[in-house]
Amino acid sequence: MASRSVYVEHLRNVSLFSGLSKKDLELVAGAGAEVSVAEGAVILEQGGGGRSAYVILSGEFVVRRNGRKVATLGPGAIVGELALLDDQPRSATVVCTAPARVLEVTSGQFRAVLDEVPALAHKLMSALAGRVRNLDTSLLG
């Protein structure tokens, strides 16, 4: 298991967290737990429930939506972040394609950090607004 400072460096490379101070990143890192993931393991199932997000520390994952591959992700990526904000079904399936390690953060832990780090809430809203704008542009031009 890595030290909190290693998690902070990984979080710093995640766009969602990149604008946070070291102190704020340490709070987010402290809210997570490192988990090993075996090749072939499904960490998110489209349509299923979920209350965790995962920051990829090592390894590789494939993201599928409606059975179609939409992305391959590696270290520095985050998956499942919408579950940190609501209790809606997962929008994609994420499968480990090479042995991996992730930092798992549950919604309860994350919400406690949001209460302590208001800047994170602002950054999260900005990141999600950017995603909505990109989706709007790709669908409607």
| pTM across the whole model | 0.85
Name the pLDDT band for 39 (thresholds 50, 70, 90): very high
Confidence (pLDDT) at 56: 95
pLDDT at 1: 57
Q: Is residue 29 part of a domain?
A: yes
Q: How confident is the model at residue 116 (pLDDT cuts 50, 70, 90)?
A: confident
The reply to whether 139 falls in a domain is: no
**Is 55 contained in some domain?**
yes
Overall average pLDDT of the 5-30 stretch: 85
Q: How far apart are CA 112 and CA 110, in angstroms?
A: 5
What's the whole-number mean pLDDT along residues 44-48?
Answer: 95
Would you say residue 140 lies in a domain?
A: no
Q: State the pairing for strand pair 93-106/52-65.
A: antiparallel
In the chain, the number of structural domains is 1
9, part of any domain: yes
Q: Would you put residue 45 in left (φ > 0), alpha (ψ -120 to 50) or beta?
A: beta
| Tokens of residue 45, six digits | 């199932």
Q: Is residue 62 part of a domain?
A: yes
Give every CB contact of residue 42 below 8 A, 6+ residues apart in sequence.
93, 94, 95, 96
Residue 21 has pLDDT above 60, yes or no: yes
Residue 117 within any structural domain of the chain: yes
Range of the domain at 88: 4-134
Q: Average pLDDT over the chain, rounded to whole?
A: 88
- Asked whether residue 141 is domain-assigned, the answer is no
Q: Residue 127: CB partners within 8 Å, gap ≥ 6?
A: 15, 16
pLDDT at 44: 95
Pick 48 or 117 by higher pLDDT.
Answer: 48
pLDDT-derived band at 2 (thresholds 50, 70, 90) equals low
Give the model confidence (pLDDT) of 59-99 as tens digits: 999 999 999 999 999 998 999 988 877 878 999 999 999 99
| CATH code, domain with 109 | 2.60.120.10
